[in-house]
Chain A
């Protein structure tokens, strides 16, 4: 068993009890590598991420995380979901949200140490929110909240980061900080899987990309995978004007509303 293979899927079918979203996924993600999932809303990106972190069970086929069943290594996996419901009512300051990222390492009653605080402050600096540490979450703007959630994920110091649209709501500065943070996580030896719409910078920074459209359209290194043909198949329409690929989305419908939301 190769210890450097962090995520491995073979003929994997994912979806919900009564609906398969994507079938026959094969992938291998190794230590220090990044994988970008690209596709429209409802294409299966979130479903795959949720299956990797064991919020959904695989319908068929094989999926291992660190060589084990997903969900068996909570200390090594950090997850950023798309929605945070509690933020409006919870009396929490930004720093307390980030500190939650250290909970998996300490269990129920394990004490937080000085080094935990150092990690918390360093990731807050990394996301540019150290001055907001004592601000209640509900007074932060959407972008500042997203930075806080990202800092929480970074505070985990996980071996595998699973991120669902991590740059949604971020301004240009926030996106740069995020990309920088991902680079340093990769350099540390962590692996990163993210669902993204950024087919320029973020996808090209990754070692692998997977194009999804309720099936795997293409999978491999960005250079050979992000072809206009494959993107056309994934998104429906591709406009190639000023050297930059621009994508116009079509939405693949499926019953589960959580992936269908307005992103622009």
Chain B
């Protein structure tokens, strides 16, 4: 038993890491649920990497990385919307173009700094074991904002996921609420990158929510499962990292992905037993 609690009793940095991790998990689960339901995975992926040049410039200028990430995210969303509306190209082409462009730009900027690999590792994989109080407070505020947005916009978000045209006809502007949703995803990415890094925040955005989607029959339940899986991954990932001296961010994400596959396998085995032949409601 001691094995499970000891690291958190004796090390303040582990407590901070867990706190930050729980907040990130909640934010990622709430935003990630809609990323999964609306099929926005690619834009989530692109956003989490597209913020890199913003963060890199911020690091070089000595301003908080979060500010740079915000500028990077705004640039990404603006660029995607511009290309999609002003050309016949689909949004995933626009996303892909900006994604690789911004990622390369980020790496080029960082390669100019004196501690290239150190900075890059910090940005890509986060520094969950060195979270400041300031970052914790910021993460808390952002998580509360994300929860508030979800509560207020739940109906239009649900309609958008169900059928964007229904949302529009029902009087909820598709464009407005789509943009609010993108803002929410961007906010999640921006505040979470310090904890798990830009590379891994995407994993936390989709893996727990995807596992939740396999289990749940209701969106609220899906979100709850997602939070449980996210927090569990944080805890297990931190423990593994502590005892076996593994990279913390990567351990956490690997655990979330493993959880997804465990749920996936259990679901498949169960549905073969229960739904064989596939059970359908008749009436």
| Residues on A facing B (Cβ under 8 Å) | 53-55, 74-75, 77-79, 81, 83-87, 89-93, 96-97, 100, 103-104, 106-109, 128-129, 131-132, 135-136, 139-141, 144
Taking a contact as CB atoms under 8 Å apart, the answer to whether B153 and A108 are in contact is yes
Taking a contact as CB atoms under 8 Å apart, the answer to whether A79 and B158 are in contact is no
Taking a contact as CB atoms under 8 Å apart, the answer to whether B165 and A74 are in contact is no
Taking a contact as CB atoms under 8 Å apart, the answer to whether A139 and B166 are in contact is no
The reply to whether the CB of B36 lies closer than 8 angstroms to some CB of chain A is: yes
Minimum Cβ distance to chain B for residue A87 (Å): 8
A-B contact count (CB 8 A): 86
- How many Å lie between the Cα of A77 and that of B170 in the bound state? 8
Minimum Cβ distance to chain B for residue A245 (Å): 32
- How many Å lie between the Cα of A135 and that of B280 in the bound state? 9
- Contact A81-B165, Cβ < 8 Å, known A74-B170, A89-B213: yes
| B227-273 with Cβ < 8 A to chain A | none
Taking a contact as CB atoms under 8 Å apart, the answer to whether A81 and B163 are in contact is yes
| B127-176 with Cβ < 8 A to chain A | 152-153, 155-156, 158-159, 161-163, 165-166, 168-172
Chain A to chain B: the 6 pairs with minimum beta-carbon distance, closest first: A74-B171, A79-B169, A104-B170, A91-B216, A86-B162, A135-B281
- How many Å lie between the Cα of A228 and that of B171 in the bound state? 41
- Residue of B37, B152, B163, B168 near A89 (CB, 8 A) is B37
B 107-123 binary contact with A (CB < 8 Å = 1; else 0): 00000000000000000
Residues in B neighbouring A132, C-beta threshold 8 A: 281, 283
- How many Å lie between the Cα of A83 and that of B163 in the bound state? 8
Q: Which residue of the partner chain B has the closest CB to A82? A: B165
Taking a contact as CB atoms under 8 Å apart, the answer to whether B163 and A85 are in contact is yes
Taking a contact as CB atoms under 8 Å apart, the answer to whether B283 and A129 are in contact is yes
- Contact A100-B283, Cβ < 8 Å, known A55-B168, A89-B37, A91-B222: no
Residues in A neighbouring B39, C-beta threshold 8 A: 89
| B202-222 with Cβ < 8 A to chain A | 213, 216-219, 221-222
| Residues on B facing A (Cβ under 8 Å) | 36-37, 39, 152-153, 155-156, 158-159, 161-163, 165-166, 168-172, 213, 216-219, 221-222, 279-283
- Contact A90-B162, Cβ < 8 Å, known A79-B169, A136-B217: yes
Residues in B neighbouring A81, C-beta threshold 8 A: 163, 165-166
Minimum Cβ distance to chain B for residue A73 (Å): 9
Residues in B neighbouring A106, C-beta threshold 8 A: 155
Taking a contact as CB atoms under 8 Å apart, the answer to whether A55 and B159 are in contact is no
- How many Å lie between the Cα of A21 and that of B219 in the bound state? 40
Residues in A neighbouring B170, C-beta threshold 8 A: 74, 100, 103-104
Taking a contact as CB atoms under 8 Å apart, the answer to whether B169 and A108 are in contact is no
Taking a contact as CB atoms under 8 Å apart, the answer to whether A108 and B155 are in contact is yes
Q: What are 16 A-B pairs at a CB distance below 8 A?
A: A78-B169, A79-B169, A81-B165, A83-B163, A84-B163, A90-B37, A90-B162, A91-B213, A92-B162, A92-B218, A100-B158, A103-B155, A104-B170, A129-B283, A139-B279, A144-B281
Minimum Cβ distance to chain A for residue B61 (Å): 40
Minimum Cβ distance to chain A for residue B277 (Å): 13
Q: Which residue of the partner chain B has the closest CB to A74? A: B171
- How many Å lie between the Cα of A14 and that of B51 in the bound state? 42
- How many Å lie between the Cα of A1 and that of B238 in the bound state? 70
Taking a contact as CB atoms under 8 Å apart, the answer to whether B152 and A55 are in contact is no
Q: Which residue of the partner chain B has the closest CB to A73? A: B171
- How many Å lie between the Cα of A54 and that of B167 in the bound state? 12
Residues in A neighbouring B163, C-beta threshold 8 A: 81, 83-86
Minimum Cβ distance to chain A for residue B94 (Å): 19
B156, B171, B213 pick with most chain A CB within 10 angstroms: B171
- Contact A90-B217, Cβ < 8 Å, known A54-B169, A140-B281: no
- How many Å lie between the Cα of A93 and that of B171 in the bound state? 23
